[in-house]
């Protein structure tokens, strides 16, 4: 007791409280970066017992809204050229251009495993993505559905093959995706790092059996599970098939996370800051429907990081020299842990070439989150009111 009384007498209650807050926040940050995020690197799908036969049949389902020449000439041929014997590609075309649909039909001469369905929409009747996917599911010949979307490309010709290993082990399958932001500079780098951090939050939960989000270009589930739940929920939203519905059907026994360089898809993103913010805000519309435990996991990391830096700054100003040294050393240790963890997890999530710049997001990430959240999307995700 005399020892602690001397410490309090020397540094005061305020100094001890400040130091206690600093190390408490360090402990929270240590948990996220050294334990929670590191689970992504340590995760191996092969450690999960196979529950179904090898090489299951896969139906890749894509909802195509309007006439997209790049999809027709580049994206679709890439998906149709996967190195896997037991798959088909189901394209649900939402539109009324007969010439464009005719071009899609002619592709079947080269790719017999292409299956087409057409839905006609107009200004008065809006066909949602979920409605289109429902039609694609009914048209599919296989019982394992893998979903992607226009504006996305598999990074490997073995994408379907590698994702099929997830269906050997689970009824809900999720793989990583990275944003296609090619421009160099501070803002494009910050955009990519923000998406990397969000993806890392989601996959850290997914590999722990607490799934809450999958990229819209890289997820899947089985027909049996889909039929047992009577299809998609939140039908008033033209979003949510990859998170809100998946939250409803995923559990640790059903979910298979596929982390491989060959499982990565690349999603198109705006290169302009304002456009990227709008897309991000639109996709975040579903966050309001997330269970509290998922939002808490996201928020504890960013707020504890912000408070850690603030408390460290105050401590370096007001504490005695010997304690300043301790604070500085601990801050450096945290940074080394963050760099180590970020490099390991970024490699598993397909973004290893940007991990060394993670310090940018580490410092100003909470500010970026506040910019995103300070106003809602200009677009509405509601299909009807």
Residue 355 lies in a domain: no
Strand partners of residue 222: 144
Q: Does any domain span residue 242?
A: yes
The residue range of the domain holding 98 is 52-188+213-286
CA–CA gap between residue 288 and residue 283 (Å, rounded): 11
Q: What is the pTM of this model?
A: 0.91
Q: Helix or strand or coil: residue 205?
A: helix
C-alpha torsion sign, points 269, 274, 278, 280:
positive
Residue 228 lies in a domain: yes
Question: Above 50 in pLDDT, residue 9?
Answer: no
Q: Quick one: pLDDT at residue 138? A: 96
Q: Has residue 94 been placed in a domain?
A: yes
Residue 71 lies in a domain: yes
Number of structural domains, the chain? 1
Q: Is 312 contained in some domain? A: no
Average the pLDDT over 141-155 and give the result.
96
The stretch 10-16 carries a mean pLDDT of 63
Residue 149 and residue 227 in contact, taking contact as beta carbons nearer than 8 Å: no
Per-residue pLDDT of 198-234, as tens digits, reads 999 999 999 999 999 999 999 999 999 999 999 999 8
CATH code of the domain covering residue 95: 3.90.550.10
pLDDT tens for residues 310-364? 999 988 888 788 888 989 999 999 999 999 999 999 999 998 778 788 888 999 9
Crossing angle of helices 321-348 and 2-30, rounded to 10° = 20
Strand partners, 119: 94
Instruction: Give all strands of the β-sheet with 152-154 in edge-to-edge order.
Output: 152-154, 265-268, 177-180
First to last CA, the chain: 65
| pLDDT over 70 at 121, yes or no | no
CA quadruple 320, 322, 328, 334: dihedral sign? negative
Torsion 243-248-251-253 (CA) sign: negative
12 domain residue, yes or no: no
> What is the rounded CA–CA span in Å between residue 61 and residue 48?
26
What is the token pair recorded at 359?
């310090």
294, part of any domain: no
Query: What is the spatial distance between Cα 350 and Cα 85, in angstroms, rounded to a whole number?
Result: 25
């Amino acid at each position: 007791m005399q020892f602690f009384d001397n410490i309090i007498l020397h540094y005061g209650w305020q100094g001890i409280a400040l130091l206690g807050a600093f190390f408490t926040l360090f402990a929270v940050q240590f948990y996220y970066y050294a334990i929670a995020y590191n689970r992504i690197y340590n995760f191996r799908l092969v450690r999960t017992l196979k529950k179904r036969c090898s090489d299951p049949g896969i139906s890749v389902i894509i909802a195509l809204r309007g006439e997209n020449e790049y999809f027709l000439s580049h994206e679709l041929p890439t998906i149709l050229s996967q190195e896997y014997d037991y798959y088909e590609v189901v394209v649900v075309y939402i539109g009324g251009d007969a010439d464009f649909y005719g071009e899609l039909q002619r592709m079947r001469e080269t790719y017999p495993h292409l299956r087409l369905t057409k839905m006609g929409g107009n200004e008065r009747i809006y066909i949602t993505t979920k409605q289109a996917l429902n039609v694609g599911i009914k048209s599919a010949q296989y019982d394992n559905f893998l979903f992607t979307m226009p504006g996305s490309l598999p990074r490997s010709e073995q994408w379907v093959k590698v994702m099929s290993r997830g269906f050997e082990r689970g009824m809900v399958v999720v793989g990583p995706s990275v944003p296609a932001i090619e421009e160099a500079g501070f803002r494009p780098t910050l955009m990519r790092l923000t998406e990397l951090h969000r993806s890392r939050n989601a996959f850290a939960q997914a590999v722990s059996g607490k799934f809450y989000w999958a990229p819209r270009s890289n997820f899947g589930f089985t027909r049996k599970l889909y039929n047992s739940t009577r299809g998609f929920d939140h039908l008033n939203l033209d979003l949510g098939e990859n998170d809100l519905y998946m939250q409803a059907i995923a559990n640790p026994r059903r979910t298979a996370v596929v982390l491989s360089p060959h499982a990565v898809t690349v999603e198109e993103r705006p290169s302009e800051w304002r456009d990227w913010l709008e897309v991000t805000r639109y996709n975040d519309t579903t966050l309001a429907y997330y269970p509290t435990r998922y939002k808490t996991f996201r928020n504890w990391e960013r707020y504890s990081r912000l408070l850690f830096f603030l408390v460290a700054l105050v401590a370096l100003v007001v504490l005695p020299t010997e304690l300043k040294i301790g604070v500085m050393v601990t801050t450096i240790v945290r940074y080394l842990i963050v760099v180590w963890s970020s490099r390991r997890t970024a490699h598993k999530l397909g973004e290893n070439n940007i991990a060394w710049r993670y310090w940018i997001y580490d410092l100003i990430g909470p500010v970026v989150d506040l910019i995103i959240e300070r106003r809602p999307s200009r677009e509405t995700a509601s299909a009807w009111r």
